[in-house]
Structure 1
């Protein structure tokens, strides 16, 4: 009887402790979610603004081709370090995995040459575009990558889009078109021309960059789905090709100048900040998205456009009028609409759950200390 009474007393206490623990965990998750949102906004806005800033400063400029190579090298080193952590510092196992994944499975590695070439081209084009376009105009126009990615997903992966996503893509295109028409006929083009920048060159660069981003992203996703290799290993394979192709591009475009002035010519602390942001930005986003859902990610992209526009007014004298506000508003709304979840179906929910679990398993191996307390790792 006494044992039964004791058990009865323990049960309410245990329930109370579970509720308290659950409440605390929800509060922690909520804080992590909005911290992730803030990081995404800062990363999205700061990369564009900082590239624009360092490329428009007076004096000697760094070679963008060398910056692209340096970002690839840093990305590879980071992913190698992550895999070494996953192997708990076991160098033999680490080297064996690299040899097997890169050398033995060489045909699998060679598949990454195509997206790597496109990503290298895209990274160089981004520098060209931002050097010739106002930061806010670039960021609004660059959202066309959502449209190109969606179209390539439908064509290459046979994905289906919801009605609201198709509507958002139309709004996105309309918003970008309004911004470009306004820029083409407004004061911004005159300001760009006066600063010895080529507006048409910048616009062409960002359009090609959006096309390449859409194709490379979908191609990379297709390769990931057909392989058991980790995201980090895939990034190493991409980085190896990216470094080699970047070096070839650097030699072709700036070889003589770099041979004379040096690889790190024009590098300042601000330039290093841009390179680190570009190298680690994608990996950082992959980590923080673990705590932020897709809607918040879309909201972060939208909010970063607003931050970029406001900052551009103060830093670069950017002129915001009613037409630009209308176009940017359509783009911001479209980005948010596109990120809204589809209507629940058995197929989409299963796909979402499995992709979510796959992403979490990747990140859990990298960040075991960020798991919820008391959560046991599944077999």
Structure 2
């Protein structure tokens, strides 16, 4: 989505207003931290639970959930643009017409990342249908590696020695997490070797698609002056189209028999809302959270997912190898966001 932290600069604390802003910054940072932890953890756990919960009747189709999330995202972004347009329908119509309809080539640029994001969202359902939440959470952090590599190749971004070191630690950690064990104890919901391989391939493919689409989207944002909300409306439009194509190609027969919203319940709509609004919430609050806090949020999310997956979902039994791998991944997320300049001249919160 971009690198907003690099755009921020500490302001001199010479006047009373700046002091008040500094006082407000402290709770905003921790509110941001809480929102990031809640969103990343709740989405994974609710999605996993919704895909393993056994109920009477047909299970909801993940392809339709992806489309529903795109529609909800469009609605949310239109409301945000409406608010920015002084709550004027005429101004909203003019903005949408000028920025989307009158700029077809700019809009078409979003077709590529939108298609990749749609694929990624479907893959996440596949991954969480075959992997426990804890293993998924740790393995999915490989998106840090893919994003970094695509940033170097597509944006000519230079990584620090700490970031390169963190990527090596990250790969080692994920390798340990996926290391096969000879443990005879098995979780109550057994996962076959074949389905675990399917889940692993899904999450690895999602990591690559996330890295490429994220950097591509960042490049587009830097080249134009359109707002993030307008860009997300464009993404959602193409995402809905690609999603509908996937519905009718893979689940068309089931949809014709049982309906588009077959198997939907309150839990399903919670998953849809978290998937649709999660990215928008993060985009709105990320400017208040620096790299260290984001790494802390990721670490807390991994720990919470592991605990809840073990005690509540009961589909995961942690091993010593998993523990060390998770610690490696958590350390890598902190190290990747480490800024030696801040450690020399720390910014007062």
**Residue aligning to 1:106:** 104
Q: Partner of 2:261: helix, strand, or coil? A: coil
User: For each residue in 1:259-313, what CA deviation from the matched residue of structure 2 results, as whole angstroms up to 9, or x when unmatched?
Assistant: 2111111111111111111110011111222322221011101111011001111
**Residue 212 of structure 2 aligns with which residue?**
215
Q: In structure 1, what is the equivalent of residue 252 of structure 2?
A: 255
What secondary structure, in the 3-state scheme, does the structure 2 residue paired with 1:181 have?
coil
8 Å Cα contact 2:127-2:199 kept in structure 1: yes
1:75 positional shift: 0.4
CA contact (8 A) 1:41 1:300 kept: yes
Shift of 1:188: 8.3
Q: Indicate the residue corresponding to 1:266 in structure 2.
A: 263
Partner of 1:92: 90
In 2, the alpha carbon distance for the partners of 1:187 and 1:244 equals 46
Match of residue 147 from structure 1: 145
Higher alpha-carbon deviation: 108-117 or 82-91: 82-91
Correspondence for 2:156: 158
User: Relative to structure 1, is the Cα distance of residues 323 and 114 closer, same or farther in structure 2, using a 3 angstrom cutoff?
Assistant: same
Aligned to 2:297: 300
Per-residue deviation, 1:29: 2.0
The 1:194/1:231 distance shift into structure 2, 3 A limit, reads closer
Secondary structure class of the residue paired with 1:160: coil
Is the 8 Å Cα contact of residues 120 and 210 (structure 2) preserved in structure 1?
yes
Structure with greater proportional helix content: 1
Shift of residue 36, structure 1, vs aligned partner: 1.4
Q: Which residue of 2 aligns with 1:55?
A: 51
The structure with the largest alpha-carbon Rg is: 1
Q: Which moved more, 1:212-221 or 1:285-294?
A: 285-294
Cα contact 1:133–1:192 (8 A) shared by 2: no
C-alpha deviations, 1:329-359, integer Å up to 9, x for none?
Answer: 0000001111122648xxxxxxxxxxxxxxx
- Counterpart of 2:128? 130
Could you tell me how far apart the structure 2 residues matched to 1:196 and 1:270 are?
28
Which residue matches 1:361?
Answer: none
Distance 1:301-1:188 versus aligned 2 partners, 3 A rule? farther
Match of 2:66 in 1: 68
Once the 2 structures are TM-superposed, how far is the Cα of residue 218 of structure 1 from its aligned partner? Answer: 0.5
Q: Is contact 1:182–1:323 with CA below 8 Å preserved after alignment?
A: no
Q: Which of 238, 242, 249 is matched with 2:239 structurally?
A: 242
- Among 71, 79, 82, which residue is 2:80 paired with? 82
* Native 8 Å contact 2:187 2:317 kept in 1: no
1:225 alignment partner, one of 199, 222, 242? 222
| Aligned residue pairs, count | 326
Return the offset for 1:34: 1.0
Relative contact order (alpha carbons < 8 A, sep ≥ 6): 1 or 2 greater?
Answer: 2
Q: Determine if contact 1:131/1:197 at 8 Å carries over to the other structure.
A: no
Select the residue among 108, 112, 116 that pairs with 2:114: 116
Q: Quote the Cα distance in structure 2 between the aligned partners of 1:34 and 1:202.
A: 33
What's the counterpart of residue 30 of structure 1? 26
Shift of 1:25: 4.3
CA–CA distance in 2 between the matches of 1:35 and 1:291? 9
Shift in CA distance, 127/50, structure 1 to aligned 2, threshold 3 Å: same
The CA distance in 2 between the partners of 1:102 and 1:187, in whole Å, is 58
| Secondary structure, aligned partner of 1:289 | helix
Residue 280 of structure 1 corresponds to: 277
Contact 2:130–2:198 (8 Å) recurs in 1? yes
The answer (yes or no) to whether the contact 2:167–2:332 under 8 Å persists in 1 is: yes
Deviation at 1:191, TM superposition (A): 6.4
Q: Deviations over 1:100-154 (max 9, x none)?
A: 2222210111111100000000000000001100100000000000000000000
Does the 8 Å CA contact 1:132/1:192 hold for their aligned counterparts?
no
The answer to whether the 8 A contact 2:133-2:306 is kept is yes
Using the TM superposition, give the Cα deviation of residue 91 of structure 1 relative to its aligned residue in structure 2, in angstroms.
2.0
Give the superposed CA RMSD. Answer: 2.1
Q: Distance in 2 between matches of 1:109 and 1:188?
A: 53
